[in-house]
Amino acid sequence: MIGQLAVLILVLLVLVWVLYSTVIGNSLGGPYVGTPEKLAEKILAEARLKPGEEFWDLGAGDGRLVKMARKKYQVEGVGVEINPLLVIWGRLQGVKMIRKSFWEVPLFNADVVYLYLWPGVVEKIAEKLEKVGPGPRLVISRRFEIRNWRRKLVKTIPDGKYEVYFYKN
């Protein structure tokens, strides 16, 4: 009986994971796709993070980029994620995770913001950041260009057949 209950709980957790990662994630910002470690290292090196800065990852998934930034660059790292299972996993890894939609979090303290979200969402986040006052010094968008910010583009690095875009705000 206990074994069957454990299997049922596991199946329910997997279903919740799939629901959040595909249906809800896709409709809100994008599916969960982790950033490979070597690319994460390149992105963080190019961001030129300074100790004490605030690094925010919107749609942080399991928080791996935040964890790496905190460990290697001594920044204050914050992951914003709506999927409760990914938030729990990130917290278990020692990452500061906020379980909210990235539309609901204030970004006025962020120095560097990282995004890997659908193109339309990236454009809307850019609009939100325009209204934050001085806003972050750097916005990094993996794969999708912020078309309205072409004048702010300072660098791109390759990500396979795509690019990672760095914008000075």
Report yes or no: 81 and 87 within 8 Å, Cβ to Cβ. Answer: yes
pLDDT tens figures, 15-56:
776 665 555 554 456 667 778 899 999 999 999 999 999 999
Query: Is the C-alpha dihedral spanning 55, 57, 62, 68 positive or negative?
Result: negative
How far apart CA 57 and CA 77 sit, in angstroms, is 8
Which is the CATH superfamily of the domain at 34-168? Answer: Vaccinia Virus protein VP39 (3.40.50.150)
pTM of the model: 0.82
- Assign residue 94 a region: left if phi > 0, alpha if psi is -120 to 50, beta otherwise? left
Report yes or no: 57 and 66 within 8 Å, Cβ to Cβ. Answer: yes
Query: In which residue are the tokens 């300072």 written?
Result: 154
Domain ranges of the chain: 34-168
